[in-house]
Amino acid sequence: MLVKELRQGMRTHLFSVSFILLQGVMVLTVLLGTAAEHGSDSLHGVFWFFVSTTMLIVMPIRGFSALANEVRLNTMDLIMLTRLSAWRIALGKWAALLVQTLLFFTAILPYVVMRYFFGGVNLLEEIFLIFSLFVLSAVLTAVTVGMSAFRGILIRGAVAVVLMITTFSLITGASNGWGVDLDFTDPDFWWGTLAMLITSVYAIYFFLDMGASRIAPAAENHSTRKRLIAWAFVIVALLIPVFSSADSEPMFVMAFVVMAVVWVDALTEQPVILPSILAPFLRFKPVSFSRFFLTPGWHTGLLYFLLSWVILGVFLMVHKPFYRGTDSELLMACINLGTAIIFPLLFIQTFLPRTTNLFGMYVLVQCIIIVTGFFLSSVIGEIAGYGNDVFFYIPLPFVYFVHLMENPDDVPALAVFLTAVMLAGSLFLPLLRALPLFRSMSQVSNQIRHGDASVPEGQIMNKIISRDES
C-alpha cells in the first residue's frame, strides 16, 4: 500500500508543481538574503509563509481523496482481498503522504543552514520550528485521511473550513517568525515538547482509526480500542499536574478536548450487534458489563459519554488541591460544550431516527444549531445586552456558551440549573430510543452463553434493524 500510494502521489501535478515552486521560493529568499544586512524580517516572513503553507495546507489537503477515491470507485472490496486490514489501508495512505511531506522537509533544511550564515537566524530554533511544522502536518494529514472515509461533501467541507481557520492562524504566526524565544535549557520546555509529541501521536492514531472503522467490515470492532485508549490518555493527562509542577488548567482543557472528539465519534457510530463482537466481552464475567459502553454504536456511546463525565468529575474531586486553578467559569464552559455535543443527537433521534448517515446528519444539525445560536446571541446581545438573563431562556447550549464567554465573572445559579436541565433533557429521549438496542444486545449475549449459534449474524442484524426502525 505504501509503495503504491507513494509512486502514484509523486506523479501527481500538485506534488511536482508544489515542490518546484517551493524550491524556487527558497532559492529566491537565499539570493535576496545575500543582499540584506543581518537578515530581513520581510524575508523571514516570506520564507516561513511558503514553508508553512506547503506543509500545513498543500500536503494535508491531499488526504481528502485518500479513502474517498477507493469508496467512490468501489475498489475497497478489491483491496480487502489482499488481506490488508482497514487499519493498514488507512495507515498506508497516511504514510505515503507523510513520506512526501518528509521530502519537502529534507529539501528545506539546506536553505535553513544557508540562512544561518547570513545572520539574524538561530539555527536550532529554526530546525525545531520546522520539525514542529512537520509534526503538525502529520496530524492534519491524519485528520484529512480519516475524514476522507465519509462520502458526504458537507462533512469534508466542514472539516476543511475548520482546518483552514486553524492553519491560517498557524501560518500567520509562522510568517511573523512565531514571536517566541525557545529556551532549550529549561526542563519545562522539554516536558512541553514531550506532551506535544504524545498528543500528536494519539491524534494521528485516533483519526486514522476513525477512518478505518468507517471502511471496515461490520464484524471488526474498532470502538473498544479507541474508547479505552482515550480514557488512558485523559487519565495520564490529568495525573501530570499531580506529580509535577505543570499548570492544571491546560491539562484539564487538553483532556476535555480529547474526550469531546471521542464523544462525537462514539455518538455517531452505527449500531453493530453481532456475536463475534459481543463474545470476547462474555469470556470473562467480571468485565462482561463493559460491552454496554465499549462496543460499536451510538447507544453505547451514550453510556460512554456519561461514564466519561463521571471519571472527569471524580478525578477533580479526588485531586481538588491540584486543580484549584480550574475555576467555575471553565467548568461551566466545559459542561456547556458537553451539552452542545450531545444536543444534536436529541434532534436526530426525535425527527430522523432512521438516518443511515449518522455522522453526516450530526454535522449538519450541529452547524444549523451553531449558526442559529450565533445569530440569536448577536441579536439579543445588541437589543438586551450580553449581561441580560434572557439568554438563559433560549434552549440552545451555544447561546449559553456565548453568554459565559462574554460574562466570565458572572455565573448565576439559573445558568447552572438550566444547563443541567438541558443536559438531562438531551440525554433522556436518546436513552429511551436506545433501550431496544440494549435489549437486543442482551438477547444476543444470552444466545452466546447458551451456545445457540443456529441464527446467522446477518439475520440477527436484520431483526435488530427492523425492530429499531419500528
Residues 194 and 80 in one domain: yes
Number of domains in the chain: 2
Percent of the chain whose pLDDT exceeds 90: 11
Instruction: Give yes or no: residues 179 and 40 share one domain.
Output: yes
454: pLDDT strictly greater than 50? no
Which CA distances in Å does 270 have to 204, 273, 357, 431, 463?
23, 10, 8, 15, 15
Helix (H) / strand (E) containing 124 = helix 123-147
Q: Both 181 and 270 in a single domain?
A: no
More confident call, 145 vs 126? 145
- Which is more confidently placed, 370 or 201? 201
Both 130 and 273 in one domain: the answer is: no
Residues 202 and 254 in one domain: no
Question: Residue 392's pLDDT band (boundaries 50, 70, 90)?
Answer: low
pLDDT score of 461 more than 60: no
Same domain, 316 and 236: yes
Cell matching residue 439: 435489549
| Residues 74 and 153 grouped into a single domain | yes
- Residue 420: C-alpha distances to residues 151, 395, 415, 417 (Å): 35, 12, 9, 5
Domain end among 198, 216, 234? 216
* Segment 28-48, tens digit of pLDDT: 777 776 665 555 556 677 777
**What letters, b where the CB count within 10 A reaches 16 and e where it falls short, cover 344-380?**
bbbbbbeeeeeeebbbbbbbbbbeebbeebeebbeeb
Supply the pLDDT for residue 292. Answer: 92
Tally of CA atoms within 13 A in the half-sphere of 452 that contains its CB: 9
Residues 403 and 465 in one domain: yes
Does residue 69 have a pLDDT over 90? no
Same domain, 78 and 164: yes
Cα atoms in the Cβ-side hemisphere of radius 13 Å centred on 105: 21
Neighbour-count burial of 256, counting CB atoms closer than 10 A to its CB (0-12 exposed, 13-18 middle, 19+ buried):
buried
Q: Which residues contact 154 (CB under 8 A, 6 or more apart)?
A: 360, 363, 364, 367
Mark which of 216, 241, 272 sits at the end of a domain.
Answer: 216
| Among candidate residues 185, 216, 247, the one where a domain is terminated | 216
Residues 95 and 249: their CA atoms lie apart, in Å, by 34
Q: Which residue has the cell 501560518?
A: 171
Domain shared by 433 and 336, yes or no: yes
pLDDT digits (tens, 9 = 90+) for 425-440: 888 888 999 999 999 9
Is 307 or 129 the better-scoring residue by pLDDT?
307
Q: What's the pLDDT tens digit per position in 316-357?
A: 776 655 444 445 666 666 777 778 888 888 888 888 888 878
Cell of 13: 501535478
Model confidence at 283: pLDDT above 80: yes
Domain that holds residue 13: 1-216
The CA-atom distances, in angstroms, between 9 and each of 32, 66, 182, 248, 251 are: 32, 10, 36, 43, 38
CB 41: neighbour CB atoms within 10 A?
11
CA 460, 466, 469: angle at the middle one, nearest 5? 140
- 170 pLDDT above the threshold of 70: no
110 burial via Cβ count (<10 Å: 0-12, 13-18, 19+): exposed
Looking at the fold, whether 306 and 235 belong to one and the same domain comes out as yes
For 128-144, what is the mean pLDDT? 87
Stretch among 91-100, 102-111, 369-378 having the lowest mean pLDDT: 369-378
Pair 248, 316 in one domain = yes
**Cα distance between residue 293 and residue 303, in whole Å:** 5
Q: Which of 114-118, 141-145, 232-236 has the lowest mean pLDDT?
A: 114-118
Q: Which amino acid is at 154?
A: L
